[in-house]
Chains A and B, each alone.
Chain A
Amino acid sequence: MSELTKVQPDLAFIKGVMEAGGDTVNKCYQCATCSVICPLSTEESPFPRKEMLWAQWGLASKIAGDADVWLCHQCGDCSSYCPRGAQPGDVLGAIRNNAIKYYAEPKALANMLTTTSGVLGTVIAAMVVWLIVGYLWSLHTGESFPFPEGTVAYHKLFTFVPIDLVVLPVVGLVVWASYKGITSFWADINKGLGVVSYTGTTASPALGVLLSRYLVPAVKEILAHTRFNKCGQTAERAKGHKWLLWSFIILFFVTGIVFFINDFVYLLLGLGHFTPMPLYNPIKILANIGAIMMIAGIWMILQMRQQKTEEGTLKSSEQDWILIWLIFSVGATGIGAEFFRLLNLAPVAYTVYIIHLATVVTLFLSLPYTKFAHMLYRTTAYVYEQWRKDVLAGKAGFGMEKEIIPPAETVSKEEE
């Protein structure tokens, strides 16, 4: 007698998917054109047909345990070729949006940051916080508030101390929420893999193995946009995304450098302020390149999404636009702050700077709670996909990879 699965459709889940952009989910009649046409679907675990069916049947736990939805880059090929007018690409997008909410802790933040008013509110709240902190700091420094006198230099308003005071708790929250999300997601998809030990625990790779064997190749692939480039209907979207991703990396890198030099080296050596850097400083040059790439990348994404949405190739939810405009605001205010600083227009420069700081904090805060979290879950899914292959091939799971890895590496080197 075969094992029977108790099926209990979750109507709320179906309605959730339908409301989040997957309103066409019920149109699917299982012809599997989507899975055949999809440039990213794999033979071992084809999608998005099965996800469409699971969603129709309200099988929330099945969907939760499915990493494949994250292997989709929503190119829209499936939607274009669907003979029934269903939009599997959008349904998967809706499922991803819902999954992000599902794994978000606390949920209230996710609910807030996924609405336009919530995001605007957050930005305004952040501005207020910055102003309060700025005011209190001005009491300590004796600079005039809100516009310090003399040449515009933002450290007159905030040094790293008040900035870190605000940002570091946010970083802490984001890291904690991300960790919670990724680990719960991993547990669910691993359950979906069906590899469960006798004690009922699921297997996970050891940290070293995770990094070397799975995370590094996954990140390499992400940086190269190997899969995104394969997207048929919207391959151009990959370009904007690639620019944007690299701009984030560059800006993360320069922010890190500045953080290190300013908050540690200069502080310990008592050298005063590292910023503002002159325009010829290589770090400044890199930062400006990053900023321009960010604006250019997000602009390309914006154009593409508008065009594809009008064509009906893909559906865009509120969340999609929020993230685009938030990133755009960060880039625009960043460049604006620099521009007005150089022009030495104190009132404008400081105002823009406050807005910039507010948008940065909001964007950062939204990382685990909004569409931005695709960064976390897609990367996890890429890792998981490799891990799944190994587990199914009997090469990993329950500590097996330790014996397997050396020969596997030799083989891959030989191949190269």
Chain B
Amino acid sequence: MSKKIGLYIYTGDGIKDAVDVDKLVELATGDLGCAVVKTSDDLYSAEGAAMVKADIDSEELNAVALAGVSPRYDFPGFSFPGVYVEKTSLRELVVWSHQIPADAEDADAQKEHVQELAEDYIRMAVTRCQKAELPEPNKMEDANTKILVIGGGVSGMSAALEAAEAGHEVTIVEREAQLGGFAARLRKQIPVGPDYSNMVDPIANELIEKVNANDKITVRTGTEVARLAGVPGAFRVSFKAAGSKSEWDAPVPLTDEEKLDENGNELSAEEQKAKYDAKNEGRHDYMEEDPNAEIHGAVVLASGWKPYQPADDEFPHLAWGNAAVVTNVQFEEMAKAGNITKPDGSPAKNVAFVMSPGGAEDDADFPYASATTSLVALKQAKYVREDYPEDGKAYIFYQHMRTPGQYEYFYKGLQDDPGIFLTKGAVTEVTPGDNGLTVKVEKTILGEDIEVDVDLVVLATGMVPTTKDEAVVNFAYRQGPAFRDLDLMGGYCDSNFICFPYETRRTGVYAAGGVRRSLTIEESLEDAAGAALKAMQCLVAAQEGHAVHPRTWDFDYPDFYFQRCTQCKRCTEECPFGALDDDEKGTPKPNPTRCRRCGTCMGACPERIIGFKDYNIDVVGSMIKSIEVPDDDDDKLRMVCFACENDAYPALDMAAARGASWSPLVRVIPVRCLGSVNVSWIKDAMSSGMDGALLLGCKYGDDYQCHFMKGSELANARMANVAESLNSLGMEPERVKLAQVAIDDYDKVADIINDFVEEVVGMGPNPFKGW
């Protein structure tokens, strides 16, 4: 569809002083062929919006470009049905970030740079308007609104109640014979509301009653999910008796090792298929549909946690293996069953709680421990005092006593008990003796190294998410039944723990409670409400055809040009959310409601056949090519910077707002995720004579901040290939660089750009410039 474009240039906030706006108008009306070009120093007002609307109506514009304030600012009135709207930043990316000092000797030359920069942003905006199409949402109007809750503990029951109260039908599937989970097996629990100063009776039974009384909730105890197939809005759930085998068990794909022969060479497709079939004998293919499956729209995963059970040879210095050394879970079982006793059954009146196993060298708590572990130790210390009020003594040796928020009152309340003794310190040794155990603690706040004789030692071990060692949900997905990247994520299933709580790495499945993180019962209740809300939102998103978090405004979805697909499987392998299934040949099968629109598939595709209506290989490639690259001026090198919209781009905005400035040789193009950056764009940039490409993306690795799991990490791997290609062309591989930027790195991002520019300038112009 040919475009009739209106360009509106905002001239306020110093834009008209820094830039020759008339020249921009001339460029747009002339070379760029915009039908309407207007300037305004009050563009983002109701009047401004009315002006644009009037032009759309009178001139029949079908695309509008707003050049001025960063696209991250949303002004009301600028959404026009049927009209593509592009926003580009002159204020942040041109004016604020390129201030020219009044006394600069080369002010004129600098001004020229800024003018060219502004012109390029106008070119890119207009180019995008020309190339981009309006999305047509994939509405799933018949989306099923029933919610499946996996796990019948306090988190699962609460999530079910929340969803039922909001009007949804709910199925709770619980592996055990009764509801309640771990919370029902406690003697006492940490409070779930004021007053926080002491432990309270378990609330699990109350929830069980409520669930049983709710006619919107179906409870299936002694049951597991054999497989979960399909998509959000239409998940196909196959149930089976807990612990049994089923023909509908989800098949498990070959691991990377299994795909190799003895010599380490990759097996042929046929051989792999045979091996896969052997591995999954008796199970239906993942794409096969179970006719008896029950349809659910969304899933709350509340499968909870398992106690961390130390290996037999673990913690020898803490005398693990001695019958008088137990974990906090074993201690809880004992406390629930009766009085606290030594292994021989006599009263255990002196109990030491060890919070950190690392001795003097390492102050880390036990694996999977958290604030909850601290609170549990306080609670269990009180058991000792309950059982032996006269002479019971409980010692808590901690490196970290974590009692966040209201739980400080819990700490205060239990600290008041004269028989609970607390000190920070490194427990270096537990030695069994004739009369129990001796605990040695160094660096205590008592100012000395101490030893204490006790009857029992309790190790404050942590809460391991059930997803760590089990598939739990059993997805019948191309990428396998479990959540991926479990090694990277410590066994957890979150997709971005901080920014998108409850969201797992599988759209439509929302985690709550102990499976999501180590937490208290009170926090589990809150979690359950959060996850239930997310599940409901996901159903609305499926119905309306927009993405779930973080791109909830996005009605677009990836489009595949299958005729050119080579079945290379990169997209199906790399999709962070397992959105893509495939057929026997390996042709991808998209599932739009599973997709989060990050574009990782687009970045991965070597055939460049995947794209979105307003964000694809051609749109961005054309934007790059629209940049004017002088081919005979060594002072005017050109570099493209792909900046991740989620963190890097906001960091640039903030840096500009704070007066940071960076080289005018760089043109910033926002991208959804570095994972969506296709190497063809780098090639486009280099072949159009640009001298370098900088990729700014989120941190990856242990402290990953990527909103789409591994986008920047994938981009980094891809750029290594680009570097090789550059090398083979005789170009410096350093011309392409990836830098990790957190959203609060606004004080560093200008330096990152300037250092890169300096490096490229040092290398000199692209040798292929002007070809």
Q: Report how far A30 CA is from B425 CA in the complex, Å.
A: 14
Q: Report how far A57 CA is from B393 CA in the complex, Å.
A: 10
Tally of contacts, chain A with chain B, CB under 8 A: 55
Contact pick for B416, options A5, A26, A54, CB 8 Å:
A26
- CB <8 Å contact, A5 and B418: no
Contact pick for A11, options B393, B449, B450, CB 8 Å:
B393
- CB <8 Å contact, B450 and A4: yes
Q: Report chain B residues within 8 Å CB of A84.
A: 412
Q: Report how far A11 CA is from B450 CA in the complex, Å.
A: 18
Chain A, range 1-53, C-beta contacts under 8 Å to B: 2-9, 11, 14-15, 18, 26-27, 29-30, 50, 53
Segment touching A, from B323-331, B438-446, B570-578, B742-750:
B438-446
User: For chain B, which range describes its interface: under 10, 10 to 19, 20 to 34, or 35 or more residues?
Assistant: 20 to 34
Contact pick for B449, options A3, A9, A50, CB 8 Å:
A3
- CB <8 Å contact, B418 and A29: no
- CB <8 Å contact, B421 and A9: yes
A2-B442, A53-B446, A56-B421 are known contacts. Are A7 and B415 too (CB-CB below 8 A)?
Answer: no
Q: Report chain B residues within 8 Å CB of A57.
A: 421, 423, 446
In the complex, the chain A residue whose C-beta lies closest to that of B415 is: A26
Binary contact track B420-457/A, C-beta < 8 Å → 1, others 0: 01010000000000000000101001111111110000
A4-B440, A11-B393 are known contacts. Are A18 and B450 too (CB-CB below 8 A)?
Answer: no
In the complex, the chain A residue whose C-beta lies closest to that of B411 is: A29
Q: Report chain A residues within 8 Å CB of B418.
A: 11, 14-15, 18, 26, 56, 58
Chain B, range 389-407, C-beta contacts under 8 Å to A: 390-391, 393
B59 at the A/B interface (Cβ < 8 Å)? no
Q: Report how far A322 CA is from B442 CA in the complex, Å.
A: 45
> What is the distance, in angstroms, from B258's C-beta to the closest C-beta of chain A?
51
In the complex, the chain B residue whose C-beta lies closest to that of A25 is: B418
> What is the distance, in angstroms, from B401's C-beta to the closest C-beta of chain A?
9
B758 at the A/B interface (Cβ < 8 Å)? no
Q: Report chain B residues within 8 Å CB of A2.
A: 442, 449
Q: Report chain A residues within 8 Å CB of B452.
A: 6-8
In the complex, the chain B residue whose C-beta lies closest to that of A30 is: B445
Q: Report how far A383 CA is from B366 CA in the complex, Å.
A: 50
Contact pick for A7, options B391, B412, B450, CB 8 Å:
B450
B689 at the A/B interface (Cβ < 8 Å)? no
- CB <8 Å contact, B445 and A53: yes
Binary contact track A91-123/B, C-beta < 8 Å → 1, others 0: 000000000000000000000000000000000
B253 at the A/B interface (Cβ < 8 Å)? no
Q: Report how far A30 CA is from B451 CA in the complex, Å.
A: 21
- CB <8 Å contact, B417 and A7: no
A56-B421, A57-B421 are known contacts. Are A7 and B416 too (CB-CB below 8 A)?
Answer: no
In the complex, the chain A residue whose C-beta lies closest to that of B422 is: A56
> What is the distance, in angstroms, from A23's C-beta to the closest C-beta of chain B?
9
> What is the distance, in angstroms, from A30's C-beta to the closest C-beta of chain B?
6
Contact pick for B446, options A7, A11, A14, CB 8 Å:
A7
Q: Report how far A58 CA is from B412 CA in the complex, Å.
A: 18
Binary contact track B730-749/A, C-beta < 8 Å → 1, others 0: 00000000000000000000
- CB <8 Å contact, A11 and B440: no
- CB <8 Å contact, A11 and B419: yes
Q: Report chain A residues within 8 Å CB of B393.
A: 9, 11
Q: Report how far A306 CA is from B287 CA in the complex, Å.
A: 84
- CB <8 Å contact, B448 and A5: yes
Q: Report how far A2 CA is from B419 CA in the complex, Å.
A: 27
Chain B, range 449-470, C-beta contacts under 8 Å to A: 449-453
| Of listed A9, A27, A58, residue having the most chain B CB within 10 A | A9
A11-B391, A56-B421 are known contacts. Are A5 and B415 too (CB-CB below 8 A)?
Answer: no
| Of listed A4, A11, A50, A56, residue having the most chain B CB within 10 A | A4
- CB <8 Å contact, A27 and B446: no
> What is the distance, in angstroms, from A186's C-beta to the closest C-beta of chain B?
23
Contact pick for B415, options A6, A29, A54, A58, CB 8 Å:
A29
- CB <8 Å contact, B450 and A6: yes
Contact pick for A5, options B412, B421, B445, B450, CB 8 Å:
B450
- CB <8 Å contact, A27 and B415: yes
Q: Report chain B residues within 8 Å CB of A27.
A: 412, 415-416
- CB <8 Å contact, A50 and B450: no
Q: Report how far A53 CA is from B415 CA in the complex, Å.
A: 12
Q: Report chain A residues within 8 Å CB of B448.
A: 3, 5
Q: Report chain B residues within 8 Å CB of A8.
A: 452-453
Q: Report how far A58 CA is from B420 CA in the complex, Å.
A: 11
Q: Report chain B residues within 8 Å CB of A26.
A: 415-418
Q: Report how far A111 CA is from B423 CA in the complex, Å.
A: 34
In the complex, the chain A residue whose C-beta lies closest to that of B401 is: A29
Q: Report how far A8 CA is from B452 CA in the complex, Å.
A: 7
Chain B, range 312-348, C-beta contacts under 8 Å to A: none
Q: Can you give 23 A-B contacts (C-beta < 8 A)?
A: A4-B440, A4-B449, A4-B450, A5-B448, A5-B449, A5-B450, A6-B452, A7-B451, A7-B452, A9-B421, A11-B418, A11-B419, A15-B418, A18-B418, A26-B417, A27-B416, A50-B447, A53-B445, A53-B446, A56-B418, A57-B421, A57-B423, A58-B418
Top-7 shortest CB links A-B: A14-B418, A7-B450, A4-B451, A26-B416, A2-B449, A5-B450, A4-B449
A-side residues, CB < 8 A to B, are 2-9, 11, 14-15, 18, 26-27, 29-30, 50, 53-54, 56-59, 84
